[in-house]
A and B are shown apart, each in its own frame.
Chain A
Amino acid sequence: MDTMFSAFETMVKSVSDWVTLAFDRPSARAIVFGVPIKGHLLVEGLLFVVILFLLSQKSYKPPKRPLTKKEVDELCDEWVPEPLIPSITEEMKYEPPVLESAAGPHTVINGKDVVNFTSADYLGLLGHDKLQESCTKALEKYGVGSCGPRGFYGTIDVHLDCEARIAKFLGTSDSILYSYGLSTMFSTIPAFCKKGDVVVVDEGVHWGIQNGLHLSRSTIIYFKHNDMESLQSILENVTHANKRTKKLRRYIVVEAVYQNSGQIAPLDEIVKLREKYRFRVILDESNSIGVLGSSGRGLTEHCKVPIENVDIVTAAMGHALATEGGFCTGSARVIDHQRLSSSGYVFSASLPPYLASAAITAIDVLEGNPNLITKLKENIATLRKGLLDVQGLEIVSDPESPIVFLTLKKSTGSIKGDLQVLQDIGDYLLKEHSIFVATSKRSTVDKCKLPAGIRLYISAAHTKTDLEKACESFKKATAVVLADQ
């Protein structure tokens, strides 16, 4: 015990001697702020060891814990979905008037004969003998439906004849038939405009075009409605901003006669811009086929532009041609490409054959009777003259367009309010004066911001008395309804 104690004592003494030596060595002395500090080397050595220890520790990461089954169950129980549809308001319960006869220039509603301005039957071909005859023959031969898409035995010889007839009428090399007017545009555009392409489009185009552009995922730039300077400045910007112009496809999309405002696009200026900036033009001629131009060939004839300068022309046939469906026409390359890549053509049943034969007959009648177009032009002029001095409403559409678009001179401030006033005028006209007109209604998914109005579709089959009666009734109706404002 004693020897161990004395050995321990010697060890402690030697350690303390060493420590005192370390403290008293000349280099271990330091004078900081006038205070001598002994043994700072030891402290620094200890600090260095501590630093090494801390660096070698792992940094703190909170552990990843995936949600347990119980937590997922709780989340699923807590989640409350929105109702499928928002609650029904009064205006949603609106029911349009029901027609009891064909939708021609005169129709029967609630047993009364009314003058009909809601049907886009510009040439008055609804109820025409030749059309009825060819439809009856086709119905007896082929039945109603075609029972298949074009690729799988749904191509009937009348479809091919109709496509050839349309191409011959318009002077292009080929055309392609779609089974629905609205689907024409939203199938054609995604077939040609892909991700990364640039499309410059008018802000007043209808929903079919908007949907087609959305599906195509291209870069979309809107220009002011029918404003050529706005279009030009946008084309300048786009051309200068993009250096890889060789691979980039650029398009301008316009409508010949705008559904939402009745304006006519100045095609000659657009074609000049097209050539200057190297953009391709897609034109929607739904409301101008059979109406504009001396023989009804559309906006290209009206503006004296050769149709080869417009790359793609589409149209819905549910207007002047008094049938259903749509078509697209252009060069052979354009049409052949659509036969495999246009989704509304490949994945949908083809047009019923009787409607295709109605289209062929309609074009035959149009070619044989160009006086229908002159009659239509006269009717438009007569109606416009009569409506010029109606109080409270102004005409915003082009003088040559078959759609006469009336908007309120003094807006109520909101689209809903405007629509309500216009709807009141329409109801009054129908009840008291037997004139049937339509207000332009907007869907919630439609992005167009143009003002709402009353749309009158003029037909070549309207008589002078009809038009005069309409003008008189309008004057009376606005006097009554707008007097409350």
Chain B
Amino acid sequence: MITIPYLTALTTYFSYGLLFAFGQLRDFFRKIVDWWSHNSLQGYAPICLGLEDFYIRRLYLRIQDCFNRPISSPPDAWFDVVERISNDNNKTLKRTTRVNRCLNLGSYNYLGFGAADEYCTPRVIESLKKFSPSTCSARVDGGTTTLHTELEECVANFVGKPAAVVFGMGYATNSAILPVLTGKGGLIISDSLNHNSIVNGARGSGATIRVFQHNTPSHLEKVLREQIADGQPRTHRPWKKIIVVVEGIYSMEGELCKLPEIISICKKYKAYVYLDEAHSIGAVGKTGRGVCELLGVDTADVDIMMGTFTKSFGSCGGYIAGSKELIQYLKYTCPAHLYATSISPPAAQQIISSIKVILGEDGSSRGAQKLAKIRENSNFFRSELQKMGFEVLGDNDSPVMPIMLYNPAKIPAFSRECLKRNVAVVTVAFPATPLLLARARICISAAHTREDLIKALEVMSIVGDMVGVKYFPAEPKKQQLEGVKLD
């Protein structure tokens, strides 16, 4: 859990209060100006009511240049960030033709498959020639090609389950599967920091939703006992089924889920476990098979395993893996399988090839090298950042590292100063994180070399001093040197 220092909390509240007050003042003047001018659509309610986009207009637009930065090269370890200029104080941004070659610390490129790869790309282009970029048809009609069946077998094998089904988008996988698994009369218990797609899927299902404290198995047990004893709200009938939804690695915290304890609790109370491995599949574990391998959990204990291919495999799409009966049922009822266009064949080929590389079936040891590199890189980077005095979240072995910033003014300062020195970082604020806990999030890739990481560390140290985010005392240099010598 993050505990914010008292003084920092005060200054953050003060900054937000000031921004809010200024925003209200400007809105007031805008209302007066609008009253005089003529509005084109009379009689219609405005499409966005006043206070809904207050945050966007008055707070977000000021720092708009830190987000949505376009790139003009593949998202590899080094990429080209397109420069944008604004003539009206950040309200609109225009692209220029100038590009900046920057170190990429923001893309989800965990194993380095983000750019053209020597093994995968020729095979992808071949499949493009054979199957064309789309099938223009739903899986159940005429969108299943031999590539799709091969892909599903490959994924099921890799994850360690009897069968799998693949969809074209990870977000839609969650949104379309949860309504099928449970409906009214069921209970979904989800972690408080779950991703938006899970929240949307749970709401779309019509089941009752309860939340348990982030990564706290004891609180999960308490909630389960209460809910089973109480039954459905108002009628107190027993629940039809209970599904507990957790994620492998939480993308905003970088933490691993406490999977063994959660599974033992769910077994005791007969609840089903749904594991979302969007960030952990392919990135953690000895052979890249995700948190189950890393934490020593048998995949047969997890009822439904879900994941996406965007992060470690350099492609797009999502999958669900489970027992043969579960997959047959999903293929019969899931709307994403019955109505949506099937996954693009070149993207499917990319996944198959990258899984082959990871497992070493392409004849080289690149896969094992990549996995070792990303573990080494993450641990090195995290320990160095902590030594410098940054407040870094997340567990060891996790390639996602959030660095706490807290104050709203530090967000654009950190982002812009790093960009000036050719390092591209991602900063996240409200509403993706709680209001006070703004952070910068680093994603390490297997494509980063040791020199890249050292350069990044230098830049971040300078910028961190400038902006003032080193909340912890740094280890003195002499101790660091001694530490290195002992190694």
Contact with A along B93-137 (1 / 0, CB 8 A): 001000000001011110001111100110011001111111111
Q: Is there a chain A Cβ closer than 8 Å to B339's Cβ?
A: yes
Q: Which of A49-57, A129-137, A389-397, A470-478 contacts B (4 or more CB under 8 A)?
A: A129-137
Q: Is there a chain A Cβ closer than 8 Å to B316's Cβ?
A: yes
Q: Please list the 7 inter-chain residue pairs (A to B) with the smallest Cβ-Cβ separation, ordered nearest first.
A: A118-B142, A318-B341, A180-B169, A438-B141, A182-B340, A348-B171, A103-B135
- The 8 Å CB contact of B333, one of A120, A147, A444, is A444
A324 to B222, CA, bound (A): 45
Residues on A with C-beta less than 8 A from B206 are 214
A sample of 13 more A-B contacts (CB under 8 A), given A145-B314, A436-B142, A438-B137, is: A88-B325, A98-B148, A99-B144, A99-B145, A135-B133, A143-B117, A182-B336, A182-B340, A208-B339, A347-B171, A352-B315, A354-B133, A355-B134
Q: Is the CB of A179 within 8 A of B114?
A: no
A333 to B325, CA, bound (A): 47
Q: Is the CB of B136 within 8 A of A119?
A: yes
Instruction: Specify which of A94, A145, A443 lies most central, judged by the most chain B CB atoms within 10 Å of its CB.
Output: A145
Q: Is there a chain B Cβ closer than 8 Å to A67's Cβ?
A: yes
Contact with A along B231-252 (1 / 0, CB 8 A): 0000000111110000000000
Q: Is the CB of B328 within 8 A of A88?
A: yes
Min distance, Cβ B174 to any Cβ of chain A, angstroms: 10
Residues on B with C-beta less than 8 A from A316 are 341
Residues on B with C-beta less than 8 A from A445 are 179-180, 183, 333, 335
Residues on B with C-beta less than 8 A from A135 are 128, 133, 346
Min distance, Cβ B148 to any Cβ of chain A, angstroms: 8
Count of B interface residues, CB-CB < 8 Å: 118
Min distance, Cβ B136 to any Cβ of chain A, angstroms: 4
Residues on A with C-beta less than 8 A from B125 are 136, 139-140
A194 to B70, CA, bound (A): 31
- Those of B140-187 within 8 Å (CB) of chain A: 140-146, 148-149, 168-172, 175-176, 179-181, 183
What are 24 A-B pairs with beta-carbon distances under 8 A?
A84-B181, A84-B241, A92-B329, A93-B328, A98-B148, A99-B142, A99-B146, A141-B74, A143-B74, A143-B115, A145-B350, A147-B107, A147-B114, A153-B106, A155-B71, A160-B95, A180-B171, A181-B340, A181-B341, A182-B341, A259-B339, A316-B341, A347-B171, A438-B141
Q: Is there a chain A Cβ closer than 8 Å to B271's Cβ?
A: yes
How many chain A residues sit at the interface, stated as a range, is 35 or more
Q: Is there a chain A Cβ closer than 8 Å to B203's Cβ?
A: yes
- Those of B301-355 within 8 Å (CB) of chain A: 303-304, 308-311, 313-316, 325-326, 328-329, 331-336, 338-341, 344, 346-347, 350
Residue of A nearest to B353 (CB): A144
- The 8 Å CB contact of A248, one of B45, B303, B335, B347, is B45
- The 8 Å CB contact of A280, one of B44, B104, B121, B204, is B44
Q: Is there a chain B Cβ closer than 8 Å to A26's Cβ?
A: no
Q: Is the CB of B310 within 8 A of A183?
A: no
Q: Is the CB of B70 within 8 A of A324?
A: no
Q: Is there a chain A Cβ closer than 8 Å to B196's Cβ?
A: yes
Min distance, Cβ A149 to any Cβ of chain B, angstroms: 9
Q: Is there a chain A Cβ closer than 8 Å to B472's Cβ?
A: no
A259 to B107, CA, bound (A): 37
Residues on B with C-beta less than 8 A from A100 are 145-146
Q: Is there a chain B Cβ closer than 8 Å to A441's Cβ?
A: yes
Contact with A along B63-76 (1 / 0, CB 8 A): 00001111111110
Q: Is there a chain A Cβ closer than 8 Å to B43's Cβ?
A: yes
Residue of A nearest to B195 (CB): A347
Q: Is there a chain A Cβ closer than 8 Å to B462's Cβ?
A: no
Residues on B with C-beta less than 8 A from A65 are none
Q: Is there a chain B Cβ closer than 8 Å to A80's Cβ?
A: yes
A146 to B336, CA, bound (A): 22
A344 to B269, CA, bound (A): 34
Q: Is there a chain B Cβ closer than 8 Å to A374's Cβ?
A: no
Q: Is there a chain B Cβ closer than 8 Å to A358's Cβ?
A: yes
Q: Is there a chain B Cβ closer than 8 Å to A157's Cβ?
A: yes
Q: Is the CB of A334 within 8 A of B47?
A: yes
Q: Is there a chain B Cβ closer than 8 Å to A249's Cβ?
A: yes
Q: Is the CB of A143 within 8 A of B116?
A: yes
Q: Is the CB of A153 within 8 A of B45?
A: no
Residues on B with C-beta less than 8 A from A86 are 329
Q: Is the CB of A157 within 8 A of B70?
A: yes
Q: Is there a chain B Cβ closer than 8 Å to A79's Cβ?
A: yes
Q: Is there a chain A Cβ closer than 8 Å to B197's Cβ?
A: yes
Instruction: Specify which of B79, B114, B137 lies most central, judged by the most chain A CB atoms within 10 Å of its CB.
Output: B137
Instruction: Specify which of A72, A121, A146, A341 lies most central, judged by the most chain B CB atoms within 10 Å of its CB.
Output: A146
Total inter-chain residue pairs, C-beta < 8 Å: 346
Q: Is there a chain A Cβ closer than 8 Å to B48's Cβ?
A: yes
Contact with A along B241-269 (1 / 0, CB 8 A): 11000000000000000000000000001
Q: Is the CB of A443 within 8 A of B333?
A: yes
Q: Is there a chain A Cβ closer than 8 Å to B229's Cβ?
A: yes
Min distance, Cβ B325 to any Cβ of chain A, angstroms: 5
A71 to B226, CA, bound (A): 11
- The 8 Å CB contact of B310, one of A145, A157, A337, is A145
Residue of B nearest to A178 (CB): B169
Q: Is the CB of B70 within 8 A of A98?
A: no
Q: Is there a chain A Cβ closer than 8 Å to B370's Cβ?
A: no
A183 to B347, CA, bound (A): 18
Q: Is there a chain B Cβ closer than 8 Å to A175's Cβ?
A: no
Residues on B with C-beta less than 8 A from A72 are 225, 228-229
Contact with B along A184-212 (1 / 0, CB 8 A): 00100000101000000000001110010
Q: Is the CB of B133 within 8 A of A143?
A: no
Residues on B with C-beta less than 8 A from A118 are 137, 141-143
Min distance, Cβ B152 to any Cβ of chain A, angstroms: 11
A322 to B124, CA, bound (A): 18
Q: Is the CB of B74 within 8 A of A102?
A: no
Q: Is there a chain B Cβ closer than 8 Å to A81's Cβ?
A: yes
Q: Is there a chain B Cβ closer than 8 Å to A97's Cβ?
A: yes
A255 to B141, CA, bound (A): 21
Q: Is the CB of A104 within 8 A of B269?
A: no
Q: Is there a chain A Cβ closer than 8 Å to B424's Cβ?
A: yes
Instruction: Specify which of B125, B135, B180, B346 lies most central, judged by the most chain A CB atoms within 10 Å of its CB.
Output: B135
